[in-house]
Structure 1
Amino acid sequence: MTSAKSPSAYEELRAIFTRLSRFDHLSAISGWDMQTMMPPGGNKARSEALAELNVLKHQILTAQKTGALLDRAQQESLNEFDRANLHEMRRQYDNAVLVPGSLVEAKSLAGARCEHAWRTQRPANDWEGFSDNLRDVVKLSREEAQIRAQAAGVSRYDALLNLYEPGMRSADLERIFGDLKTWLPELLQKVVAKQQQEPCLIPQGPFNVETQRKLSLSVMKLLGFDFDGGRVDVSAHPFCGGVPEDVRITTRYNEKEFLTALLGIVHETGHARYEQNLPREWLGQPIALARSTAIHESQSLFFEMQLARGEDFLKILRPLIIKQFGEQPALEENNFIRLNQRVRPGLIRVDADEVSYPAHVMLRYEIERALIESEIDVDDIPALWNEKMHSYLGLDTVGDYRNGCMQDIHWTDGAFGYFPTYTLGAMYAAQLFNSARAAIPKLSEDITAGNLHALFHWLQQNIWRHGSRYPTDTLITNATGETLNPRYFRQHLENRYL
């Protein structure tokens, strides 16, 4: 009688990370429920439950056994996929083992309190009340950043940026954003001046919310959303959550106008398609996760900006809108295209056009970097926000916290380092769409005919199916022939708007 063969260290690790992914599943769906369905009175108990779950995950991931298995697995003979998976396991472990469980719990609870309060304090324009909660989150985020920075030998902000965009440094962002500043303000001025000579009719409502929802579902179907593995709901701030097998996206409706909600749906559907098409055979393992936050944003912005605001797609979107709301002058084809390509600097980031959007990102990056590096404090945010809004976009936010420094959800739970990935994502999206167009000779005709199969197949082959198999630079080079090149973003904006 022969004894059963003991599992290898790598096989044991796979079992551990499968278990962690199941906890992540519960955490993701519970977090979605918190933002969409949960009554306000449930916040304290839910926050405590999620904090407990986060501590448990942290204990499993950082256990001495996990570290020992990682060391042993490094010596084992593994194929390319398993080696890449092991690399991602090690990265997760290294990121987690630095931070004590007590800080994980404290940050989780502070973030939940701050986010819950934000939902009522933002509409009330209550900066004073909000800033008390935000101060706690910033304090804990600085503690985490300091621990990570000392271990990695980088700045505090770079230590947090690395959690969202592995390998990216603020020096890289300074170079990229510095280049943007040399040409974007002039481009913005030219486009605004040009469009002032092109009057644009605005659709006249009201637009029934249930009808908007039907329109959203029809557009999601056109974009290939898998309704057997996902759903759409309403929240205070649009987002894509859940897990690849059960993706949850949200939007927010306004009876006075429908395009904001609709384009929000398109954006979140881009995120959802990426999640729904991650490598199924590897689900539960780190290699099956999205490569980075910027790559995730590149998919949502590929859908929203590159595809949905392009003339070809707008020609097939318009009939779907008319079917729900009927004909009106603003929906005439040329006017409808102008409406969706209108550039008008505004206060709200999520409603911004793609020309002024990078200014919103640079503003937030500069403030959050200074905040984490302790160059400024929470009380300094409103004045600095107004100063930069005036400098970048010529807009005033004095006293308007709701539409100024309180508008985003990101800082409420300590997501410092996230904002730059939006502009990086926009640049990746432009570069990817340029390569897709070169690879699909009849792409324009396909889109106009409502045939998006070839485009989505290209994304599936070049981005979605790879998960975290490759580093970001390798993934983008394989797809486009080069690493991130911001010139494609500039070319895209100039070609579309000038």
Structure 2
Amino acid sequence: MTATPAYDALASTWTRLHRLGHLQSIASWDQSANMPPKGNEARAAAMAEMAALLHGMRTDPALAAKLDAAETEPLDEPQHANLREMRRQWRAATVLPTDLVERQQLATARCEHAWRTLRPANDWAGLVPGLKEVVALAREEATRLADAHGVSRYEALMDRYEPGLTTAQVDRVFGELRQWLPGLIRQVVERQSRETVLVPQGPFAREAQRRLCEDMMRELGFDFDAGRLDVSTHPFCGGVPEDVRLTTRFRDDEFLGSLMGTIHETGHARYEQNLPREWLGQPLAEARSMAIHESQSLSFEMQLGSHPGFVARLAPRLAAAFGAQPAFEPGNLRKLLTRVKPGFIRVDADEVTYPAHVILRYEIERPLVDGEIEVEDIPALWDTKMAELLGVDTRGNFKDGAMQDMHWPLGLIGYFPCYSLGAMYAAQWFAAMRRAMPDVDTRIAAGDLAPVFDWLQHNIWQQASRWSTDELARRASGEALNPAHFRAHLQARYLGA
């Protein structure tokens, strides 16, 4: 007889959830990458059915007794951590009725599908009805979670992506950013205005871009036997650790967007592919949070991908892919990859202006969830904050303004703070690496990326959800999140300070 019958029964349930979630994730990837447009309504119904099935399993009344019984069983430390994560997921799920989960799945699938055609048409008015439905459902979810868990409505939604994060923490961190970021942007733009930068001359064949992206994925350790690269409207990383799906997008006149976007998604993918296999199927083996996930993509894209040593080794690959030209000279390429210019599009933003895009979205979606503003108010607020934070005029330009992201149509409200928190964590990880390995920059320049990957593997990837986010950060770097590392990184890279 097993000494932990309740725990074993729970582990079996979560293994089933993982396997069914595998099918759900691949169907979701296919919806974005391959599905013909007329398949959307049927796919939305199928996804809603799967969401209801999984929700029913997570809210099975029998789980409550098993969770309580497992607490009294002789569990080791990882099992206790796994049980903690099971209870956290169960508590969040039991608050939400199945019909709400189904309605959300249908509404977000329809809204995101409509967004794909409405955005190129700059048709904000056409998006409003679907987005209002998504926001209304998000408010309903937030209210139920907030009432049950004693947090604010926005905190309830953030908790889905960053467990335990409070608005007070975000307000403090973003408040500090608001104090020094605009000045830093002005300093860097003024400094770079005196530089001469050559722009690569296209066109750049898409097949050559794909080969280059896949080559860089291999260089960065991506396992193509456990994943693949495809094309979608908005780049993302999905799937499951056993089958990770990356997407990117290509333009004929520009290649750095697809290349750096692929490097970014490869960071997400390496995290997923290196989660602890012995715990696969259990909550313990899941990524800790979305801020930690973003710290991996930004460790790859910004800390490593724009590292001078990495850029120097990238230059000859570009010449091989597209033909030699002066713009591919390492010094010029580094200038291109660290160019700071306030612009419309978040996903194309440099790492200095990027946090301003995140602050803007946070300052809109928080009052939106709280009912202080409505969907119709978003464009005017967007215009005001873009002018204030970045000096950019978006009036009437909805496709490059409030319609540019798929997050709100998909109901991913409460996610945006994770992007900038992830950038801060990434800077903190590399500061810790440099303390532990003073020669790490020299080794990167020599093409030896193993020290970076080994550090991430030991301190982040294999730890998965064993610890709270703060405890994970302390164990990895000696302290909880410290935004000072991000500021120091930007000042060193862009001002030589």
Q: Indicate whether the TM-score tops 0.5.
A: yes
1:445 to partner: Cα distance: 2.0
Report whether the alignment pairs 1:293 with 2:286: no
Partner of 2:349: 352
TM-align CA RMSD: 0.9
Partner of 1:308: 305
For residues 222 and 440 of structure 1, what CA distance do their matches in structure 2 show?
Answer: 21
On the 8 A contact 2:4/2:75 being kept in 1, the answer is: no
For residues 403 and 427 of structure 1, what CA distance do their matches in structure 2 show?
Answer: 26
Which of 114, 139, 155 is equivalent to 2:152?
A: 155
Partner of 2:24: 27
1:19 to partner: Cα distance: 0.3
1:335 to partner: Cα distance: 1.0
- CA deviation digits over 1:448-483, x for unaligned, max 9? 121111110010000000110000111110110111
On the 8 A contact 2:459/2:476 being kept in 1, the answer is: yes
For residues 177 and 159 of structure 2, what CA distance do their matches in structure 1 show?
Answer: 22
For residues 357 and 92 of structure 1, what CA distance do their matches in structure 2 show?
Answer: 31
Moved over 6 A (4+): none
Partner of 1:80: 77
Structure 1 pair 80–104 and aligned structure 2 pair: CA distance change class (3 A):
same
The count of corresponding residues between Structure 1 and Structure 2 is 495
Partner of 1:224: 221
For residues 182 and 50 of structure 1, what CA distance do their matches in structure 2 show?
Answer: 44
1:7 to partner: Cα distance: 6.4
For residues 342 and 94 of structure 1, what CA distance do their matches in structure 2 show?
Answer: 45
For residues 423 and 23 of structure 1, what CA distance do their matches in structure 2 show?
Answer: 32
Partner of 1:426: 423
Partner of 2:403: 406
1:94 to partner: Cα distance: 0.2
For residues 329 and 225 of structure 2, what CA distance do their matches in structure 1 show?
Answer: 35
Partner of 1:361: 358
For residues 375 and 136 of structure 2, what CA distance do their matches in structure 1 show?
Answer: 10
- CA deviation digits over 1:12-48, x for unaligned, max 9? 0000000000111000000000000000011111111
Partner of 2:463: 466
1:233 to partner: Cα distance: 0.3
- CA deviation digits over 1:182-239, x for unaligned, max 9? 1111110000000000021100000000000010011101100000000000000000
Which of 475, 478, 483 is equivalent to 2:480?
A: 483
Q: What is the SS of the residue equivalent to 2:332?
A: helix
Report whether the alignment pairs 1:455 with 2:458: no
Mean CA deviation greater in 328-337 or 404-413:
328-337
Report whether the alignment pairs 1:374 with 2:374: no
Query: What percent identity do the matched residue pairs reach?
Result: 57
1:441 to partner: Cα distance: 2.6
On the 8 A contact 1:277/1:464 being kept in 2, the answer is: yes
Gaps of 5+ in 2: none
Partner of 1:436: 433
On the 8 A contact 1:218/1:320 being kept in 2, the answer is: no
Structure 1 pair 472–7 and aligned structure 2 pair: CA distance change class (3 A):
closer
For residues 411 and 100 of structure 1, what CA distance do their matches in structure 2 show?
Answer: 22
Q: What is the SS of the residue equivalent to 2:340?
A: coil
Partner of 1:243: 240
On the 8 A contact 1:271/1:297 being kept in 2, the answer is: yes
TM-score by length of 1: 0.98
Which of 8, 25, 48 is equivalent to 1:51?
A: 48
Partner of 1:16: 13
- CA deviation digits over 1:63-101, x for unaligned, max 9? 111111111111111000100000000000001000000
Structure 1 pair 147–205 and aligned structure 2 pair: CA distance change class (3 A):
same
Partner of 1:387: 384
For residues 450 and 35 of structure 1, what CA distance do their matches in structure 2 show?
Answer: 35
